[in-house]
Amino acid sequence: MSGAAAGMGEGVTGRLSRRGRWLSFLTKLGVFVMLMLLWHAVTVTEIVSPFFLPQPGAVMTVFWRILSSGRAWPDVSVTFFEFAVAGPLAVVTGIFGGYLISMTRYSTIVLEPVVSSLYAIPIIIFYPISIMALGIGPESKIAHGALFGFFPICLNTIQGFSGVDAIYLRMARSTGATKAQLLRRILIPAAAPTILNGVRLGLMLCFLAIIGGETIASLEGLGHRIVWYAEGMQMTNMFAYIVFVILIAAVMNICLSLLELRRRGA
Amino acid sequence: MSATGARLPPPWVARLCVIICLLILWEVLGRMGTALFFSPFSKVVMTGHQIFFDAEVRQALLTTGWVLALAFALSLILGLVLGLAIAMSKFTYQTFLPVLLLLYAIPQITILPLFVLYFGTGPASKIAFGVSHGLFPVAVSVIAGVQGIKPILLTSAASMGATRGQIFRRITLPYLVPSLFTGMRLASTAALLGVLLAELYASAGGVGHFTRRFSETFQPDKLYALIGALALMAIALNEATRRLERRFSKWR
């Protein structure tokens, strides 16, 4: 570790040397290639039973088939329908609730700890209640997803609005700004980055909560399909669907992050 | 806060009122719905609490408790080791941090069935799934802690002839404590989520099993009592770790 001694003075975030950067890149690539080769080797030689771990090539083939044949469509449409209802619900209630709470300093002091304590509860424990009350269909997933997404959005909205510098507000008021102007010109622009960060987090959590709800108890949807293949011991199909869902989540995350970045740049 | 005014009650009184209002709301809504699915607050307190005298339920709470404790301890140890290994040098930091963040970004819930296939339906799969949730926050916090050490401290220590071991013991470790506590708080909630998810998905013992049983046999009072107890435990755990975190980060 000669790099360690050299880098000591500037901590771990300093720039690597040219050779170091190359080595770093090669190592990253190497780790990935080695893992793939290892996966391939243990499955081809059947050191690990194909019942436990399918071959990577087979998984990729099935994955392409899922993409090209559109056979995942029924599950995708169910999951996305649930998300399309639960996501906006979480955003609207979260922002509105957060705005109401942060209207005055006093209500923020009183209510913020209540909301953040509730956020500490793993919301998944309420899922049996929503199954019981709303049934095993999409309704219970929508309720669960919306509840999961609500908290980070609400908390970030509170943080965003209450974190606005008092000087801006005083200045706007002293120059005779109306309430609406205050909201549009000062509060919203100042709070937007924090709120958008909460929206991104909330929407991701909402999506994952829906998948989780489908995994635990459902008759349809992407989460259910993974479990369905797992219980049928169709490992190749299961892995392909896992890759599919992970990719959807990654694409969503990237899109939401881009939205956030663009807003910040504007 | 001067803005609270003279006539407003202190915040904790108002907070208590809000909580009481929420409980009243629960009472009213619980009475409006059918008794098959809903249970008002009073009934949950009056009859639901009996489950805690049931030996089986106690056993389940105990099982979930030790599974969570083990998952938390493992997350802490593995996360600390992993975090320190990655933050060991510039090279390891810039090479393996992206790998760690990539793994962190994978939604674990999608691979929950794999955990059950590999580790069975016993406690092992719950512990493993809990660790998969708790490990990353600890590692990331530890790395962030090392990252935040002022370079000048390291330079001055090195220039005074401190060895690597001394630097680690005297600078890195003390500086790590606050972020380690942040990681612990995040990990405790994450591990709890992981353990409960795995228990709800497939389990023969533990709390998840009983929530399933109570909901399938339509005993909402018992279900709500169990969930209420879990929620209180989660809030207490979070509050305790948050206090510890605040206490240990004061010195900085």
What percentage of residues in chain B have a pLDDT greater than 90? 23
Specify whether A146 is located in the same domain as A192. yes
Nearest-5° angle of CA A37, CA A41, CA A42? 120
Residue of B94, B103, B159, B188 best to disrupt the A interface, most CBs of A under 10 A: B94
| A135, A139, A230, A238 from A214: Cα distances, Å | 12, 11, 14, 15
Specify whether A258 is located in the same domain as A133. yes
Q: What is the mean pLDDT of residues B145-154?
A: 84
The top-level CATH class assigned to B56-248 is: mainly alpha
- Looking at beta carbons, which residues of chain B come within 8 Å of A22? none
- Looking at beta carbons, which residues of chain A come within 8 Å of B118? 52
Residues 143..202 of B with a Cβ closer than 8 Å to A: which?
Answer: 146-147, 149, 151, 154-155, 158, 164, 167, 189, 192-193, 196-197, 200-201
Task: Tell me the per-residue pLDDT of A12-52, one tens digit each, with 9 for 90 and over.
Answer: 777 788 888 888 888 889 988 998 899 888 888 888 887 78
Residue A140: inside a domain: yes
Q: Which of B170, B73, B207, B59 is nearest to B130 (CA)?
A: B73
Q: What is the mean pLDDT of residues B9-36?
A: 86
Specify whether A30 is located in the same domain as A90. no
Specify whether A33 is located in the same domain as A132. no
How many beta carbons lie within 10 A of that of residue A261, not counting itself?
A: 11
Tokens of A225: 């399909």
Query: Is the predicted pLDDT of residue A5 greater than 80, yes or no?
Result: no
Specify whether A135 is located in the same domain as A26. no
Structural domains counted in chain A: 2
Distance from CA of B118 to the nearest CA of A (A): 7
**Smallest CA–CA distance from B216 into chain A, residue:** A132
Measured between CB atoms, does B90 come within 8 Å of chain A? Answer: yes
What is the pLDDT at residue A7? 42
Specify whether A151 is located in the same domain as A243. yes
Specify whether A128 is located in the same domain as A177. yes
Task: Tell me the per-residue pLDDT of B151-183, one tens digit each, with 9 for 90 and over.
Answer: 888 888 888 988 888 888 888 888 888 888 888
Task: Tell me the per-residue pLDDT of B49-63, one tens digit each, with 9 for 90 and over.
Answer: 888 888 888 888 899
Residue A158: inside a domain: yes
CA gap A117, B99 in Å, rounded: 33
**Smallest CA–CA distance from A14 into chain B, residue:** B90
Torsion, Cα of A108, A114, A119, A121 (10° steps): 170
Q: What is the mean pLDDT of residues B116-126?
A: 89
Residue of A1, A8, A228 best to disrupt the B interface, most CBs of B under 10 A: A8
Instruction: Return the domain boundaries, chain B.
Output: 56-248
Q: Do B107 and A211 touch (CB under 8 A)?
A: yes
Residue A35: inside a domain: yes
Identify the domain containing residue A123 by its residue range.
Answer: 72-265
Residue A11: inside a domain: no
CATH code, A159? 1.10.3720.10
Helices (H) and strands (E) in chain A — how many of each?
12, 0
Distance from CA of B143 to the nearest CA of A (A): 9
Residue A190: inside a domain: yes
Specify whether A231 is located in the same domain as A136. yes
Measured between CB atoms, does B72 come within 8 Å of chain A? Answer: no
Specify whether A33 is located in the same domain as A131. no
Task: Tell me the per-residue pLDDT of A74-111, one tens digit each, with 9 for 90 and over.
Answer: 999 999 999 999 999 999 999 999 999 998 888 999 99
